[in-house]
Amino acid sequence: MLFKDFQKKYSLSKDQILLEIFEDNQDVIQVKKAKTALKNLDLIFQATLKLSNQSGFQAMTLRQLSAESGIGLGTLYASIENKEYLASMIINYVVRSLHILFAASEEEYQTPKEQLIWIMKAHIYLTEELQPWFFFAFSEARHFEEIGKAAAKKGEIYTEKMIADCLERGMEDGSFRERDPLMTASLIKPLLQDWYVKRWKYQHRNVSVESYVAHVTDLVCAYLCPGE
């Protein structure tokens, strides 16, 4: 599946994800009208990604965020409470995107090998589509406080568990060689992350997202699959 086909078949609803974040943070978000709250969150998230990319999340002030998003400070505080909650909301946007994507496709790929290839391909394609979000989650995680770090760890563990569970099934039916599932999953994860963390490197080498997917899946399958 090419990236353009992936986008058509598995287009994510930004409104759906924002609504789930809004519903999960009712104790923080004081703007109770959903339509207004979702619009504010969208503007705040986009402005945060832009400012973080320019000077870093830690250096960004809420006053700067207010100016960039066009949302007054009072409404800003009523929408996110503070930077710590804002960070956790953005991380949850990333994690929910993965949940929705994998849930939409879990019935399509039956064998462990098919499932593993799909997980890797879908993860890379999704990070191509949401590169600023995933880059923020990766690059800023070390600066987060307790809530933000917990959200970042949750996303990391979720992907590794998806891969490890798939590996265990493949080892049980003979599709994969006997390996340590969790250790192998933890080594596959950086291969997926490299696409969005070091995007500049692959752009410089004129590597397409489809080519990167092919190299990663070939490498992992050669390590895991007997006869390859």
- For residues 154 and 95, the answer to whether their CB atoms sit within 8 Å is yes
How far is it, in rounded angstroms, from Cα 211 to Cα 197?
17
Is 182 a residue whose pLDDT tops 90?
yes
Q: pLDDT grade, residue 217 (50/70/90)?
A: very high
Residue of 108, 135, 97 whose CA lies nearest to 11: 97
Is 215 a residue whose pLDDT tops 80?
yes
Is 222 a residue whose pLDDT tops 90?
yes
Is 197 a residue whose pLDDT tops 80?
yes
Percent of the chain with pLDDT strictly greater than 90: 53
pLDDT computed for residue 148 by the predictor: 65
Sign of CA dihedral 134, 8, 207, 118: positive
Domains of the chain, each with CATH number or no CATH = 3-224 (1.10.357.10)
How far is it, in rounded angstroms, from Cα 141 to Cα 135?
10
pLDDT tens for 69-90 read 999 999 999 999 888 889 888 8
How far is it, in rounded angstroms, from Cα 136 to Cα 133?
5
The residue whose two tokens read 């960070």 is 87
SS3 99: helix
What is the token pair recorded at 128? Answer: 């191509």
DSSP 8-state assignment for residue 193: H
pLDDT tens for 89-146 read 888 888 888 888 887 766 677 799 999 999 999 999 999 999 998 988 888 877 676 7
How far is it, in rounded angstroms, from Cα 219 to Cα 196?
18
- For residues 104 and 10, the answer to whether their CB atoms sit within 8 Å is yes
Sign of CA dihedral 171, 175, 176, 181: negative
Sign of CA dihedral 89, 93, 98, 101: positive
Sign of CA dihedral 140, 99, 37, 15: positive
pLDDT computed for residue 227 by the predictor: 76
pTM of the model: 0.88
